[in-house]
Amino acid sequence: MRSQIEANPLTVIPGGDGSELTAEELELVGNYAVRIRFSDGHDTGLYTWAYLRSLAKALDEEEVS
């Protein structure tokens, strides 16, 4: 799993009960970030727009390769 995460920062770590982890709700935090509520109930962490854009760019580059 560690090598998958290093190779792809978008790798989703499996939930404890084996079900698929999904994003269920987004909450705007000021003008700079969002908080994501996931299907397993956790909602810690803020994801800045700059960070989300960098993930999107990495995903686009991965799809081109």
Residues of the chain with pLDDT under 70: 1, 14-16, 65
CA 63 to chain centre: 17
On whether the pTM is more than 0.85, the answer is no
DSSP 43: -
* pLDDT (0 to 100) of residue 53: 94
Domain count, the chain: 1
Return the CATH number at 40: 3.30.2020.30
**Structural domain span for residue 56:** 22-65
Residue written as token pair 């190779």: 7
Report if residue 61 sits inside a domain: yes
* pLDDT (0 to 100) of residue 32: 94
40, 16 Cβ separation under 8 angstroms: yes
Report if residue 13 sits inside a domain: no
